[in-house]
Amino acid sequence: MLYNGQAGRLSRNPMSDQERDSVARLQETPERAVLHGKAQFGRFGRPFRDLNLLEADCGIPRLFGMRRFRLKQWVHIAVVHDDWYLSLALVDLGFLGTSWLHLFNRRSGHAFEHTLKLPPGRFRAPANLWDHSGTIETRGYRVRAHDCLDQQVHHFEIDIKAKGSLPAISGSVTLYEDPARTQPLAVLLPLGPNRPMFSHKSACPVGGLLDIAGAKVEFTPDRHVGLLDYHKAFYPRSTFWKWATFAIIDGSGNLLGCNLTHNVIRDDTQFNENCIWHGNRLTLLGAARFDIPKDRTQPWRIRTEDGRADLQLIPQGRRSERVNLGLVKSAYDQPYGLYSGTLIDGEGVSHRVENAFGLAEDHVSLW
């Protein structure tokens, strides 16, 4: 749980003028992400209408579709229910299309996962967040994502058949991204000279109904939260990132959580996607740092250099993957479990976090 707005659980920390000035503001979003070949870098409150990253003069040739091949794209949602945690991804790596549906029973501690891999060109990620869809499917596995910010929803339809010991899962979930209730973060950040990374992160109430092995699991927006990660990037061949995120609906009905990342961006004091969500307010944060134990099942510590976030994750389970194809390598760990610690929002209010369910990642790749 996370306690917010209740006597004895909040403290207001005095802020100096310098500290107040350091609380950065979101920029106004241009219509297009790339203008005359130049990426419009910054941190914004809404995504671009025209997410035209392929027009960036990023040093990657256009010949033979190389620029399209190098663009890494995905949609990932993490949905937290009282009884279940769901991690769903649709990924277009250029040379490979892949998807997974990972489910963790929070009562029993049992996890299982359906996966799908497809050859190049069989899946295209949604082109934008305003009104576009993408479907990844083969026999026995179909997931469709439809982003429609004009109607303030992200809709996911799932139809996966039983396979061996893995049960069937079907139904749909909808993430409701209403700016009056939650302020998303959209960033266009430099991975290199004019080499853009776009990411849209939001914490949303979630509704829907899934059938998991014959059991009905209902998601209700006043109780359950979904975390959206919509991503497009010209990552360098050698890449890493560390990521931590969670959100809950507190006792006052407000969403509260955070997104923290440390990746290949050199100047991550300014160019980062680190934030605190609190209701419809968003606080931008400084650089994030991760202390990850050799034994990934032990507690992780995540903090920001500006002191606004200091958290510990106690893993309860994880999904992991190792790939070694010579020219392509990947080591990926996504633990999930309970966060505790402190978040200090832009108003100087300290929020004590206790056992809030969320996830993290540690990923190193050559692709």
Query: Can you give the pLDDT at residue 24?
Result: 59
Residue 136: its H or E element: strand 132-138
pLDDT at residue 20 greater than cutoff 60: no
pLDDT at residue 329 greater than cutoff 80: yes
- State the average pLDDT over residues 52-71: 91
**Does some domain include residue 3?**
no
pLDDT at residue 2 greater than cutoff 50: no
Q: Is 72 helix (H, G, I), strand (E, B) or coil?
A: strand
Query: Can you give the pLDDT at residue 10?
Result: 36
pLDDT at residue 203 greater than cutoff 70: yes
pLDDT at residue 16 greater than cutoff 90: no
Selection from 181, 187, 318 nearest residue 261 by Cα = 187
- State the average pLDDT over residues 257-270: 94
**Confidence bin at 62 (pLDDT 50/70/90):** confident
Residue 69: its H or E element: helix 66-70
- State the average pLDDT over residues 178-199: 94
Domain count, the chain: 1
Q: What is the mean pLDDT of the chain?
A: 91
Owning domain of residue 36: 10-366
Query: Can you give the pLDDT at residue 181?
Result: 87
Q: Is 71 helix (H, G, I), strand (E, B) or coil?
A: coil
Q: Residue 328 contacts by C-beta under 8 Å, 6 or more apart in sequence? A: 95, 366, 367
195-212 and 169-176 strand pairing: antiparallel
pLDDT > 90 in the chain, percent: 82
Query: Can you give the pLDDT at residue 217?
Result: 98
**Does some domain include residue 86?**
yes
Chain-centre distance of CA 139, in angstroms? Answer: 28
pLDDT > 70 in the chain, percent: 93
**Does some domain include residue 2?**
no
**Does some domain include residue 34?**
yes
Q: Which two tokens stand for residue 128?
A: 């934008």
Alpha-carbon span 345 to 131, nearest angstrom: 32
Q: Which two tokens stand for residue 330?
A: 């990947």
- State the average pLDDT over residues 10-36: 64
Contacts made by residues 24-28, CB under 8 angstroms, sequence distance 24+ = 24/270, 24/284, 25/284, 26/185, 26/282, 26/284
Selection from 364, 366, 362 nearest residue 295 by Cα = 362
Q: Which of 21-30, 54-63, 326-335 has the lowest mean pLDDT?
A: 21-30
Alpha-carbon span 156 to 79, nearest angstrom: 11
Query: Can you give the pLDDT at residue 83?
Result: 97
Q: Give the residue with greater pLDDT, 96 vs 89.
A: 89
- State the average pLDDT over residues 138-147: 97
**Does some domain include residue 4?**
no
Total residues belonging to the chain: 367
Q: Residue 24 contacts by C-beta under 8 Å, 6 or more apart in sequence? A: 43, 270, 284
Selection from 298, 218, 285 nearest residue 258 by Cα = 285
- State the average pLDDT over residues 13-31: 60
Query: Can you give the pLDDT at residue 13?
Result: 41
CB 212 within 8 A of CB 103: yes
**Does some domain include residue 276?**
yes
Alpha-carbon span 298 to 320, nearest angstrom: 15
Q: Which of 5-19, 139-153, 262-276 has the lowest mean pLDDT?
A: 5-19
pLDDT at residue 64 greater than cutoff 80: no
Q: What is the distance in angstroms between the CA of the first residue and the CA of the last residue of the chain?
A: 39
Stated pTM of the model? 0.92
Residue 70: its H or E element: helix 66-70
Alpha-carbon span 174 to 220, nearest angstrom: 10
Residue 68: its H or E element: helix 66-70
Q: SS3 for 170-206, per residue?
A: EEEEEEECCCCCCCCEEEEEEEECCEEEEEEEEEEEE
pLDDT at residue 7 greater than cutoff 80: no
Query: Can you give the pLDDT at residue 323?
Result: 81
